[in-house]
Amino acid sequence: MSSWKSLLLRIGEKSPDYGTSSDPKEHIETCFGVLRRELEHSPNEVSQFLLQCAEQLPHKTSLYGTVIGLLNLENEEFVRKVVENTQSNFQDALDSGNCNRIRLLMRFLTVMMCSKVIHPSSLVVVFETLLSSAATTVDEEKGNPSWQSRADFYVTCILSCLPWGGAELIEQVPEEIERVMVGVEAYLSIRKRVSDTGLSAFEDDDENVREPNDKDFLEDLWGRIQVLSSNGWKLDSVPRPHLSFEAQLVAGKSHEFGPISCPDQPDPPSTISSITCGKQKHDAELMYPQRIRRLNIFPASKTEDLQPMDRFIVEEYLLDVLFFLNGCRKECASYMAGLPVPFRYEYLMAETIFCQLLMLPQPPFRPTYYTLVIIDLCKALPGAFPAVVAGAVRALFEKIADLDMECRTRLILWFSHHLSNFQFIWPWEEWAYVLDLPKWAPQRVFVQEVLEREVRLSYWDKVKQSIENAPGLEELLPPKGAPNFKFSVEETSEGNGQHALSVDLRTMVKGRASAREMIVWIEESVFPVHGMEGTLNVVVQTLLDIGSKSFTHLITVLERYGQVIAKLCGDQDKQVMLITEIDSYWRNNSQMSAVAIDRMMGYRLLSNLAIVRWVFSPANIEQFHLSDRPWEILRNTVSKTYNRVCDLRKEILSLKKSVVSAEEAAATAKAELVAAESKLSLMDGEPVLGENPVRLKRLKSYAEKAKEEELSVRESLEVKEALLARALDEFEALFLSLYKNFLNVLTERLPSASKCVTLQGLKSIHADSMVVDVEESSAMEVDDENGRPKKSQLNGGRMSSVYNVGEKEQWCLSTLGYLKAFSRQYASEIWPHMEKLDAEVLTEDVHPLIRKAVYCGLRRPVDGL
């Protein structure tokens, strides 16, 4: 890398590029001197890289703004082009709805204004343009309030710029910035307060009605800005390096920032209804999502020393680093641990990462990314961060009963993965009391599922060794994962006969018999004697046993003898029997059971409808609140069906581009041929229409091939579009089946609507019959240093082990939670079918809690609840 690029990248850091100096002022002077010389050779490259750094290392934006301010004193033309490029990039970001780029370029504009590069009035014009668009959007008559999320995003961007340049704006253009502040206040008075319903990590938050003084995210940010303004815009978390060069920068020429325009919001739906408006609102929230939803998992004492605005700025820093350095986990952890702030922020950093990990409907990146960042931060800050993470785990564990089911699953997967990187060390004795809780208590189920996932990541004996300080927890370990092969020993006379058939089948496989030969043998020798159930039993168990050694063995068996299974299980009833056999064989290994079912679905040996039907069979229904086993299989099934739709959409998008290219190529070849045919040439001294026959023949061949290529691509597109239509029909059928099954099982078990219409009411049905030490449970706190429960919480070395929710009620809570999670995760595909869903599933007589679970997942208002 060029030395000047390295200087730009490492500015403000302890780096060999800057010698022993860590003074930001010296870094800026050094970087400015090198860039000034480099401008003579490659100004365009410098401009491009400088803008890239400002966008992708936004916690250093103020440093880059100051460097540009100094360059403006030497080379106004270069800086004018930087401003023009920024304006062009900003307009592109607005047009494409690139939220991160819009927000960061506005911050960059603000710091350039502080360094006298941009005129303050130009920045105010940008603010007013966004504010005007926001106000128009939420106007009932002129706008489209369904797109309020975009309007809120624009105003959030304006407010988030003020910590970086509010003091300068107040000093230089007080009347204009006051006009903006009044406009923001007016906007806040006409917009609708945003609810987190359906997107909160804690179930209780979805039910609590907001008090008049409660604030949503934008109102909260406005309050922080007002506090900052009353404090004279003094902030510890925002570096202001331009002040060190103020005497020089004041001589620079301020450039005008070109006009920008906000894209028009989509037209309101032609037919106004809760469904059409809800669909638009959903689309808008997907495009302009709220960036963070605070969990508040730590006591206020951990962050109360921070100014309200400092907390917001540090959150922004952390989220920016997570976003832009997602491909470099160690670099990401290094930057997160060394933010340019003069105070400690480990608790805020941990909470911000957990906010992202548990973000609904889905985190910005795969959960594994956050796992790796947390691991690297624990290694980078060994004296502080591991204890903070442990405190976060304990705090979330205390609230696990209220945690959303999707968040609970993510937390289980994260925690087990995290422990696997630290030798599975955890003070399990603290949680040994869960053994005294009912088997359906969420804390007990959480420990059980974490241990099961740990076994997947290691081996049974290793995990058992890790809980030696709480040996009783061995009761919650999964069985050792050996297969349950029915024909490994001889039992009854029927078993002897089937055992012999299993041996014969195994011999055929070893002899590499073809699938057709096996089918003939089954039809002639097995089926007539043992019937369908016995035949399926022998064939499936034996083939699974042959493929049990490894994943590769399983794939080989399915590829070689999948036709045999397909022949036996041609309808849904027999596929349900097939899944039952798979689950029976792998009853001691939930991972292999899920893998085998997933692979068979991939080979089209199992339909998604058959899997849904099996998941909602009586034996599995009884496990809904006790184990993740049936839910894992259901999640895989729905995900695989959805991924088919997504893959086909990507292929169609690519083919449409190919069609355009093929059309252009065919048109070009045709035009060249026509031009050649119409051209006069001399042959034997006589003028003849057409070029050299050899060239004409070649051009004609090119034109024909181009046309054939175009037709071929069009045919491929038509095939893929037909497959997509089929996949969408399949997905619709899947979700209708899924919802109907949820409806049936919940309707059977939920208390009547006259007794219970809220989750809190459902939880409290059996509360009167349980003895609860309210004072002890309300005294739960997190120790200042490591988050361990205080001794006052212990009773004879064991924590209070009362869980006051009955089994039936817990079953309902868990199942409703999963219903909401599926609705939320696949909302984009469900919304187009809402009319059908209302007509066939969510009818007027449906239980209010079922309707509420679906509507919360879709973020659709629930009338009367």
Q: Taking the CB of residue 241, how many other CB atoms lie within 10 A of it?
A: 25
- pLDDT, residue 864, reads 41
> What is the end-to-end Cα distance of the chain in Å, rounded?
61
Q: Which residues contact 711 (CB under 8 A, 6 or more apart)?
A: none
CA 678 to chain centre: 60
**What are the tokens at 138?**
């939420």
What is the CB-side half-sphere exposure of residue 331 using CA atoms within 13 A?
11
The C-alpha atoms of residue 191 and residue 138 are separated, in whole angstroms, by 6
The string of pLDDT tens digits covering residues 350-384 is 999 999 999 999 999 999 999 999 999 999 999 99
**What are the tokens at 848?**
């209010």
The C-alpha atoms of residue 495 and residue 501 are separated, in whole angstroms, by 10
Q: Name the CA dihedral angle for 10, 14, 18, 19, rounded to a multiple of 10 degrees.
A: -150
- pLDDT, residue 205, reads 61
HEC assignment per residue over 26-53:
HHHHHHHHHHHHHCCCCHHHHHHHHHHH
**What are the tokens at 93?**
């970001």
The C-alpha atoms of residue 628 and residue 636 are separated, in whole angstroms, by 12
Domains of the chain: 4-287 (1.25.40.180), 315-422 (1.25.40.180), 495-640 (1.25.40.180)
**What are the tokens at 723?**
């497959």
Which stretch of DSSP H or E encloses residue 680?
Answer: strand 680-683
Q: Taking the CB of residue 529, how many other CB atoms lie within 10 A of it?
A: 11
**What are the tokens at 45?**
């490259």
**What are the tokens at 574?**
């027999």
Q: For residues 675 and 667, is the Cβ–Cβ distance under 8 A? A: no
- pLDDT, residue 209, reads 54
CA–CA–CA angle 352, 357, 361 (5° rounding): 115
Residue 781 is which amino acid? E
Strand ranges (E), 233-369: none
CA–CA–CA angle 81, 85, 91 (5° rounding): 145
**What are the tokens at 793?**
């919480």
Classify 290 as helix, strand or coil: coil
DSSP category for residue 801: -
Tokens 């910005």 sit at which residue?
Answer: 364
Buried b (16+ CB within 10 A) or exposed e, 51-75: bebbbbbbbbbbbbbbbbbbbbbeb
The C-alpha atoms of residue 843 and residue 765 are separated, in whole angstroms, by 26
**What are the tokens at 545?**
């046993």
**What are the tokens at 768?**
């009167």
**What are the tokens at 316?**
């922004």
Angle, helix 848-858 to helix 807-825, in steps of 10 degrees: 30
- In DSSP notation, 104-149 reads HHHHHHHHHHHTTSB-HHHHHHHHHHHHHHHHHHT-TTTS-GGGHH
358-to-351, 420, 818 alpha-carbon distances in Å:
10, 20, 15
Q: Which residues contact 799 (CB under 8 A, 6 or more apart)?
A: 430, 433, 789, 793
- pLDDT, residue 776, reads 43
Q: Which residues contact 132 (CB under 8 A, 6 or more apart)?
A: 262
Q: For residues 93 and 101, is the Cβ–Cβ distance under 8 A? A: yes
The C-alpha atoms of residue 540 and residue 548 are separated, in whole angstroms, by 12
The C-alpha atoms of residue 672 and residue 320 are separated, in whole angstroms, by 52
Burial class (CB in 10 A: 0-12, 13-18, 19+), 647: middle
Q: Which residues contact 406 (CB under 8 A, 6 or more apart)?
A: 360, 821, 824, 825
DSSP category for residue 341: -
- Counting as low any pLDDT under 70, the low residues of the chain are 1-2, 205-213, 303-304, 489-496, 680-691, 766-801, 862-865
Q: Which residues contact 502 (CB under 8 A, 6 or more apart)?
A: 487, 538, 541, 542
Q: What is the CA radius of gyration of the chain?
A: 33
- In DSSP notation, 145-167 reads GGGHHHHHHHHHHHHHHHHHHHH
Q: Name the CA dihedral angle for 294, 300, 304, 308, rounded to a multiple of 10 degrees.
A: 30
Classify 831 as helix, strand or coil: helix
Tokens 């303050």 sit at which residue?
Answer: 120
Q: Which residues contact 713 (CB under 8 A, 6 or more apart)?
A: 655, 658, 659, 662
The C-alpha atoms of residue 151 and residue 383 are separated, in whole angstroms, by 43
Residue 379 is which amino acid? K
- pLDDT, residue 693, reads 74
Which stretch of DSSP H or E encloses residue 681?
Answer: strand 680-683
Tokens 């169609």 sit at which residue?
Answer: 652
